[in-house]
Amino acid sequence: MSKLITVTGVVQGVGFRPYIYRQAMKLSLTGWVRNDGEGVTIYLTQDLTDNQVRTELLVDPPPGARIDAIACVATPVQPVTGFTVIPSDSSGPKRAEVPIDLAICTDCQMELFDAVDRRHGYPYINCTNCGPRFSVILALPYDRANTTMAPWPPCESCRAEYEDPLNRRFHAEPTACPTCGPNYYLVPKTASPLNAPTRGTAALELAAAHLRDGAILGIKGIGGYLLACDARNEGVVGQLRSRKFRKDKPFALMAKDLNTIMEVAGINTNEAALLQSSSAPIVLLEPQGELPLVAPNAPRLGIMLPYAPLHYLLFHYGAPELMVMTSGNRSSEPMVIEDTTASDLLLGIADEILVGERPIARRVDDSVVALDHRDRPVLIRRARGYAPTRVTQLAHHAGVIVGCGADLKSTITLSIDGQVTTSPYLGDLSYREIQQEHRHTLKTLLGLWELGTADLVLATDAHPDYHVNQLAHTYAAEFGIDPPQEIQHHRAHFASVLAEHRILDDLALGVTFDGTGYGDDGSTWGGEFFYGSLPGGFERIAHLEPSPLPGGDAAARYPLQCLAGFLEPDAWSQWIGPRLSTDADDRMRLSLRLATHKSTSVGRLFDAVAAILGFDDKITYEAQAAAWLEALATSAIRRGYRPQANSLLSFIDNAIYYRGFLAALAEQVYQRRQPPDEIAADFHASLASATATALYALAQGHPSRFICFSGGVFQNLVLRQALDRQLQTCLPDHRVLYNERLSCNDENISLGQVALVVMGLPTR
């Protein structure tokens, strides 16, 4: 008998077949390997044991591969000679994992700057170990005809490499060279016969020179257009903020190398490894040095290294060694991917545009990651280099479940027979363009796996006014299926952690702290404690003290407005009102009298504390006041201050009470008894202490081995560290879990929706 081996995971588009071919040659095996709808299938005439398959044939897979499962079955011998790579099998259901975009590998970097290599200086150089994947795929299986490279047939030399199983570019679908492939050209703001676009190397050299001279450039990247300028030139950074309508939100940076990063930020070994990984995310680092307009009042700098050949070439030709590299759009709008749109929109912001001829199949933003106090990765935005990948496996359910997510930081999650994949970050659905992107992403994912819509089960957020709720009901009507199941927001957060860690049946305690979510009682929740399991559901067992929220969810834009509802009236009159103008004070008092909406939001509590400490402005980006508060706390801790928990922030009768704490805080600030950064640090310690106290009390009557934390508040690394210390003391036997494969913010809502629906359905 011979052996038929099926390998699933990330095994297409990462050089897996040529790897198997080389291993077969090394081991003198005969048979074949091919891609198919499930992953990769290998046929061997030899009857290898399962252990030999794992320890000899699959011992060292390519760096971009991830093997999830290996199935080996005996099969009759086929009449084959030698070992070959045979054409892909396109029949049967499509279940193969979509490969992700990878940073340029070291081999391609060497060729890029090798003067005698035929791809010297070519900005689209790639191989099976690196380059675009998801951003160029139009359909599965991952073959060249199904990518945006289809219009560029390979030249004779590229074809020979593509067909040679021993070559690094064997079936590297986007492979090309200057002779046969796309290139870049520089479009000036005002084009004319005397000022025509410049192409190729000359365009890159000119672009680098203009960046060095203080220009703002639009640059076509892997997953969309970016805006770049000299990060050390305050004048041009200020111009970019003005033109982009981005008042305060931090800009991401791209540094030429690690030495450049060390000039402006602290960096440890694990952060350096993350920056240099094949995912090449933006990494949040401790700032050192002065870049006041790049990330004003933010606790960290977001920095990435070059990840595309184009980036390396720009630095090589003399671009500034530290550049702002931010999404190509007006603030909060979707990143531009179309060349015509870039010309129309970005030339209102940029001085010139560096246009790449290879089309982008779909928008993919840069991922953002931080390391916590234990050097564990904390995803802030999951996109290029991370998505879409399978995030978990749920109980088998023969069907397709779609989680439509939430309004902010929206994503889409698909469960296909229990295999769960989550899309990259999409954005804020209050913008029509992001709604269109949501629809496009859903159709793309369904199309890639050739999934019909007749038997889809949809899930969405329970908020009746969310755009995603309206979209989901529209999808249901278009597909002619049942209306979507509506899942409460914070239960979805909790469920996402259990699903990621595959805790599918056990009881667990869950804590979900965020800014806003529609509660069972119609009020705004955001400081919730739950108990339950995925199949049994979650009971709300405690929460933050409810308070009036003037203006409802709109108060998230005005920290003083939150404070007016959260603070006792006497404390407001004594400590806050006198520092405001009469008009502002009167407006806040009137809004409070008109307030009928209640909130338990921890996100709004952060806003209220920030307002006490002096954040009086309107918020210009989500969680700005909370980030400002975290930056203050971080400043105190960095200079050696040891935060103290205040018992006035306390847990009593299944609620965390804070009004007395806020009143004392306002008095303390007014009388200037302590620096604001120390007060901010003490607030983080106090909230961590109150949360741990609540969990200890709740655990006595709700037995479990697991405590799950989710919601945007837990992106706060100061809070996570303080909470970790508290829980080690009071609940050392419990396993503490956060989102790991997804962000803890609303990106995980779609996963939680799917998990609750799948685990509530009968297994078939």
Structure tokens of 50? Answer: 């399962």
Angle at 467 between CA 466 and CA 469, to 5 degrees: 70
CA distance 210 to 207: 5
Is the distance from CB of 505 to CB of 613 less than 8 angstroms? Answer: no
Angle between helices 559-566 and 602-612 (to 10 degrees): 100
646 Cβ contact partners less than 8 Å away, ≥ 6 residues apart: 661, 664, 682, 683, 686
Question: Which is the catalytic residue, given 17, 232, 300, 540?
Answer: 17
CA distance 348 to 344: 7
In the annotation, is 119 catalytic?
no
DSSP 603-615: HHHHHHHHHHTT-
Structure tokens of 262? Answer: 């060390």
> Residue 73: how many CB atoms within 10 A of its CB?
9
Is the distance from CB of 287 to CB of 175 less than 8 angstroms? Answer: no
CA distance 698 to 627: 30
Length of the chain in terms of residues written: 764
Peptide bond into 464 cis (omega under 30): no
Question: Which is the catalytic residue, given 22, 34, 35, 51?
Answer: 35
Is the distance from CB of 584 to CB of 560 less than 8 angstroms? Answer: yes
Closest Cα to residue 716, out of 752, 750, 691, 751? Answer: 691
Is the distance from CB of 208 to CB of 229 less than 8 angstroms? Answer: no
In the annotation, is 17 catalytic?
yes
Task: Please name the residue that has the structure tokens 């995030």.
Answer: 391
Angle between helices 676-701 and 624-638 (to 10 degrees): 100
643 Cβ contact partners less than 8 Å away, ≥ 6 residues apart: 633, 636, 637, 678, 681, 682, 684, 685, 722
Q: Which residues are part of the catalytic machinery?
A: 17, 35
